[in-house]
Amino acid sequence: MVSYTPTEEVDFVVIGSGAAGGIMAKELSVAGFSVVVLEQGGPGCYGHEQDYNKDELLGMYPAPADRLMSDLKLQPNTYRKHAGEKAGPGSSRYGCVLGGGTVTYGASSWRHLPYEFNEATHVGTIAGTGMADWPIGYDELEPYYTKAEWELGVSGLRVDSPFFAPMSKPYPVKPLPEKASGALLKIAAAKLGLTVVPNVAAILSEPYQGRSACVSCGMCSGFGCQVKARSSTAVTMIPIAEQTGRCEIRPHSYVHEIKVGANGRVTGAIYFDAAKREVFQKAKAVVLSANGLETPRLLLLSKSAHFPDGLANSSGLVGKYLMSGNFSNANGLFEHPLNEYKGIVSGAAIMDYVPTDPKRGFYGGGRMTGRGQEEPIQYGVQGPHLAPKWGAEYKKALREQANRKLTIASFITQLPLETNCVDLDPDVRDAWGLAAMRLTSTSHPDDVKCMEFFRQRSLEILDAAGATTVWAEPVSDARGGAHSRGTCRMGNDPRKSVVDKFHRAHDVPNLFVVDGSSFVTGGRNHPTMTIEALAFRAADHLIKATKSGNV
Ligand SMILES: Cc1cc2nc3c(=O)[nH]c(=O)nc-3n(C[C@H](O)[C@H](O)[C@H](O)COP(=O)(O)OP(=O)(O)OC[C@H]3O[C@@H](n4cnc5c(N)ncnc54)[C@H](O)[C@@H]3O)c2cc1C
């Protein structure tokens, strides 16, 4: 494998190796460029995936070397509802390993619908929001969705419906087997006139490109995949990048500054290596793919004489318009065992409430997914419904309920508000002495109504599916997390956006921000397929621009 010295000026440094970074590294190195990928997390089980453990306790309390998710003890973050309040401890975590969030994610891989790129044109302004059109439309991204689905490996069924994005090509792999959740949603849908489709997942239903199909182990989201059925960038993109002989992957490299030269161009990145030594990697251009939370934080940490308010931040919008994604959950208990713990997390979805409907009295929509996958310890700690927390009655309720519970999890719109943001906490530092990220977030009143709408519909659906008991906790607002996006929005106007439509920072000609942070509006949550399509498109344009001397 190739290895560069930090003083050697490579063509590109890519910061982060997740959904977007893995694709950028592969595309740029295949196109002939020298690339160094700086990833703060470890290599995980890269190249020996069979060793990923399925130990739930280890997964909950991993030793640092086994860490697949960010560690709040090492990298704390803080949260508050409104500016002006002192932030308290936050709970936001994301995938922190070679392959980023794609190593452990649930892998639901929905495309945005065409109108989700120009919602402002469709609905006009919504008071109090920064609703805006994207500078690109669905048609421009469609070929890259197809490329992402085929290069990564996505299982699904193309459906001809207004609730489904139009596709120029079917999915490369057939849908995963139907689970009890799918069968029960269909019973309800038949009574209520709703539409059920199989989940679209970046998890293989049959062997593809030398990788195995899902073996339904049931320890899926939150765990590494031992048979490489989950199409993470660590098993799809990164091996191809390395095989070019032009891409060096450097795990345990925590970037804390993107360096700017006298001419205002970036010159490389400074990172802490595993021994906490500072290293400067020189590069002709930098691709920042550290996710919707860490990307704005790193730009804000990268202050310089040229950029006293943070790199690429002349608009003052770095970190603003955070959308972490709202959810609503409802649960039902059924007479018969469901065996929902097997297979992928979410087997089927109800699509009818994806579009917004003015009759509902608020803006927003979402996808309802049926799921019942809870690992035994997680379920035991959380406890059965309306049961004591210990003793004989607790055990009896565990036995009765554990395999009979179905949850409808809805993934719904969160409107972009300028006041919802990521910035640097003035009081809290991480284990390297850097300012921690602070999240400020309160959803728009329409979002709260939207969550409540989905909560009510989910209870009705569970009822219609034949649940013997149904319940739902009160809705609660997003507080950050791995679906965060929108914090370096793209646009044509440098005063109103951070990057242009090709992900180039308006302020810095050789800095490219490619990840969930460039979203303008959030879609119906589940951001990763759109992040991946955007990355393929960004790489295409970056390669052409570089080859024509325009970087
Ligand atoms: C348990 C779980 C389930 C999920 N399920 C789904 C799902 O079903 N569908 C869906 O669409 N999404 C899901 N997600 C979200 C999904 O993982 C993210 O949307 C996606 O990974 C984001 O891609 P990204 O490229 O923006 O960032 P990431 O994939 O998060 O990659 C960013 C990488 O950058 C690294 N990094 C950050 N800061 C630095 C730094 N300063 N220096 C060096 N490296 C750095 C990080 O360690 C990380 O590896 C899930 C996430 C989790 C954790």
Pocket lining: 108 vs ligand 1, CB cutoff 6 Å: yes
Q: Quick one: which atom of ligand 1 is closest to the CA of 515?
A: 26
> Does any domain span residue 533?
yes
Q: Quick one: which atom of ligand 1 is closest to the CA of 20?
A: 25
Pocket lining: 294 vs ligand 1, CB cutoff 6 Å: yes
Please count the other Cβ atoms lying within 10 Å of the Cβ belonging to residue 329: 18
Ligand 1 centroid – CA 276 distance (Å): 23
Q: Quick one: which atom of ligand 1 is closest to the CA of 38?
A: 43
Q: Are 291 and 516 in contact (CB under 8 A)?
A: yes
* Residue 256, amino acid: H
Q: Quick one: which atom of ligand 1 is closest to the CA of 269?
A: 42
Exposed/middle/buried for 217, CB within 10 Å: 0-12, 13-18, 19+? Answer: middle
> Does any domain span residue 215?
no
Cα dist from 426 to 161, 300, 318, whole Å: 49, 12, 17
Ligand 1 centroid – CA 3 distance (Å): 25
Separation of alpha carbons 118 and 111, rounded Å: 15
Pocket lining: 39 vs ligand 1, CB cutoff 6 Å: yes
Ordered per-residue pLDDT tens for the chain, 551 residues: 899 999 999 999 999 999 999 999 999 999 999 999 999 999 999 999 999 988 888 766 666 656 899 999 999 999 999 999 999 999 999 999 999 999 999 999 999 999 999 999 988 889 999 999 999 999 999 999 999 999 999 999 999 888 899 999 999 999 999 999 999 999 999 999 999 999 999 999 999 999 999 999 989 998 999 999 999 999 999 999 999 999 999 999 999 999 999 999 999 999 999 999 999 999 999 999 999 999 999 999 999 999 999 999 999 999 999 999 999 999 999 999 999 988 899 889 999 999 999 999 999 999 999 998 788 888 898 899 999 999 999 999 999 998 999 999 999 999 999 999 999 999 999 999 999 999 999 999 999 999 999 999 999 999 999 999 999 999 999 999 999 999 999 999 999 999 999 999 999 999 999 999 999 999 998 999 999 999 999 999 999 999 999 99
Separation of alpha carbons 317 and 491, rounded Å: 12
> Does any domain span residue 2?
yes
> Does any domain span residue 430?
no
Residue 148, C-beta contacts closer than 8 angstroms, at least 6 positions apart: 23, 154, 529, 532, 533, 535, 536
Longest CA–CA span in the chain (Å) reads: 73
How many distinct helices (H) and strands (E) make up the chain? 11, 17
> Does any domain span residue 287?
yes
Q: Quick one: which atom of ligand 1 is closest to the CA of 110?
A: 11
Region for residue 523 given its phi and psi (left: phi exceeds 0; alpha: psi -120 to 50; beta: otherwise) = left
> Does any domain span residue 338?
no
Position 62 scores a pLDDT of 63
Q: Tokens 């700017």 map to which residue?
A: 260
Pocket lining: 514 vs ligand 1, CB cutoff 6 Å: no
What residues form DSSP beta bridges with 423? Answer: 438
* Residue 486, amino acid: G
Ligand 1 centroid – CA 222 distance (Å): 12
Q: Are 46 and 232 in contact (CB under 8 A)?
A: no
Smallest CA separation from ligand 1 atom 37, residue: 290
What residues form DSSP beta bridges with 80? Answer: 440
For 163, the token pair is 């609730």
Within its chain, how far is the Cα of 333 from the centroid? 30
Pocket lining: 198 vs ligand 1, CB cutoff 6 Å: no
Q: Quick one: which atom of ligand 1 is closest to the CA of 99?
A: 49
Ligand 1 centroid – CA 348 distance (Å): 23
Pocket lining: 298 vs ligand 1, CB cutoff 6 Å: yes
Pocket lining: 251 vs ligand 1, CB cutoff 6 Å: no
> Does any domain span residue 435?
no
Q: Quick one: which atom of ligand 1 is closest to the CA of 298?
A: 41
Pocket lining: 522 vs ligand 1, CB cutoff 6 Å: no
SS3 call for 535? helix
For 28, the token pair is 């740029």
Q: Tokens 């302004």 map to which residue?
A: 125
Pocket lining: 17 vs ligand 1, CB cutoff 6 Å: yes
Q: Which stretch of DSSP H or E encloses residue 79?
A: strand 77-80
What residues form DSSP beta bridges with 435? Answer: 429
Listed residue (271, 269, 249, 246) closest to 258, CA to CA: 269
Position 64 scores a pLDDT of 63
Angle at CA 471, nearest 5°, toward 468 and 327? 130
Angle at CA 178, nearest 5°, toward 175 and 179? 140
3-class SS string, 211-230: ECCCCCCCCCCCCCCCCCCE
Smallest CA separation from ligand 1 atom 9, residue: 108
Looking at 262-361, which runs of residues are DSSP E strands?
Answer: 266-272, 278-288, 326-333, 346-350
> Does any domain span residue 203?
no
Cα dist from 136 to 116, 147, 324, whole Å: 11, 17, 22
Ligand 1 centroid – CA 104 distance (Å): 9
Pocket lining: 22 vs ligand 1, CB cutoff 6 Å: no
Pocket lining: 46 vs ligand 1, CB cutoff 6 Å: no
Pocket lining: 19 vs ligand 1, CB cutoff 6 Å: yes
Q: Are 239 and 249 in contact (CB under 8 A)?
A: no
Looking at 306-453, which runs of residues are DSSP E strands?
Answer: 326-333, 346-350, 366-371, 405-412, 421-429, 435-440
Ligand 1 centroid – CA 40 distance (Å): 12
Query: What are the start-end ranges of the H helices in 360-495?
Result: 376-382, 391-401, 445-464
* Residue 191, amino acid: K
What residues form DSSP beta bridges with 366? Answer: 412
CATH number at residue 39: 3.50.50.60
Q: Quick one: which atom of ligand 1 is closest to the CA of 528?
A: 11
Listed residue (272, 269, 266, 299) closest to 15, CA to CA: 269
SS3 call for 339? coil
Q: Are 104 and 69 in contact (CB under 8 A)?
A: yes
- What's the domain count of the chain? 1
- Residues 284-323 as b or e (16 or more Cβ within 10 Å = b): bbbbbbbbbbbbbbbbbbbbeeebeebbbbbbebbbbbbb
Residue 161, C-beta contacts closer than 8 angstroms, at least 6 positions apart: 195, 197, 351
Question: What is the extent of the structural domain holding 269?
Answer: 1-71+92-105+232-318+484-546
Q: Which stretch of DSSP H or E encloses residue 89?
A: strand 88-89
